[in-house]
Structure 1
Amino acid sequence: MKHTRSIPRHHAFTLLEMMVVLLIIALIIGSVAVMVQGIEGNAQSVTTGAKIKALETALTSYKIANLTYPTQQQGLEALVTMPAAEPRPRRWSALAKPDALIDPWGRKIGYRNPGKRNAGGYDVFSLGPDGLENTEDDIGNW
């Protein structure tokens, strides 16, 4: 009984197998890129909502100290620097930092007193990614 020793063969990938693997990798990378892009847009909206809530809290503190909200003319800047316009606040302190007044798209967060959407109150809002007012992507305290 003779034992023949088989010579080990080195198997290589075929061109077709390599193409299938590269296609799968490309699909995975493409899917991740699309998901990350959606997450970034959502993160900007969530960040804007949080900034608006923080500004509402600062406006409430301003009203408690001064018995009124900042006027339309004074704007949200009254939370950062002492207003020069009347009515001048009785007790003023900085309640926000300047960057709190800028949305993730680089535009100033809007303020209306009296509000259009909050009758009897005020509006704090961002125009969203498109920068246009009264569109679906606006983010505000309404």
Structure 2
Amino acid sequence: MSRLKAVLKTVGERFSVARPGYSLMEILVAVAIIAVLATLVAPRLFGQLDRARVTSAETQIDMLETALDSMRLDIGRYPTNEEGLALLSTPNPSVSAMWQGPYLDEELPTDPWGNPYRYRAAEGQSDRGQVYSLGADNAEGGSGLDADIGI
């Protein structure tokens, strides 16, 4: 029993070596370095996010235009301004006999900024209109991230 106590005492002494903790100055320097790195990296990450939103909007516009082309094959024309993109999901009485939709797997999507996509009918019924997003500012025109997409 005394031998066991001696071994336990020796092991305990080995692991109980006093180690000093980090000083306040070392912690402050580490936090400062992390803050500097964050300020350098954050703008690049947010820039990537903004570019991803524009790319997502362009992809969704292409998908909506493809759905419009499929619908035109069935009903013989593109939607009017009044019918808009809603005709992809729900037929109106004038086309219900020929309408084979819905032409989207899900509900009509919103743009990456949460605003509805816009549709402007072309002059002739055989021409596809424009599907577009007003961009980040949700207003006509603009530049950079606020530029309209799809026009």
Taking structure 1 as the reference length, the TM-score comes to 0.74
Counterpart mapping for 1:1-80 below 5 A: 20-80=29-89
How many residue pairs were aligned?
A: 126
Does the CA-based 8 Å contact 2:118-2:133 persist in structure 1? yes
Q: Is 1:131 aligned to 2:143, yes or no?
A: no
Does the CA-based 8 Å contact 2:86-2:108 persist in structure 1? no
What's the offset of the Cα at 1:27?
1.1
What's the offset of the Cα at 1:14?
8.1
SS of residue paired to 2:79: coil
Distance 1:89 1:32, change over 3 A: farther
Taking structure 2 as the reference length, the TM-score comes to 0.70
CA distance in 1, matches of 2:42, 2:119: 36
CA distance in 2, matches of 1:132, 1:24: 40
Gaps of 5+ in 2: 1-18
Q: Determine which structure has the larger helix proportion and give its number.
A: 2
2:113 paired residue number: 105
SS of residue paired to 1:98: coil
CA distance in 2, matches of 1:121, 1:93: 18
Amino acid at match of 1:63: R
Gaps of 5+ in 1: 1-9
Q: Match for 1:95 among 87, 92, 103?
A: 103
Amino acid at match of 1:125: Y
What's the offset of the Cα at 1:15?
7.3
- More off after superposition, 125-134 vs 87-96: 87-96
CA distance in 2, matches of 1:91, 1:14: 74
Does the CA-based 8 Å contact 1:125-1:138 persist in structure 2? yes
CA distance in 2, matches of 1:103, 1:37: 18
What's the offset of the Cα at 1:70?
1.2
Q: Cα RMSD over matched residues?
A: 2.5
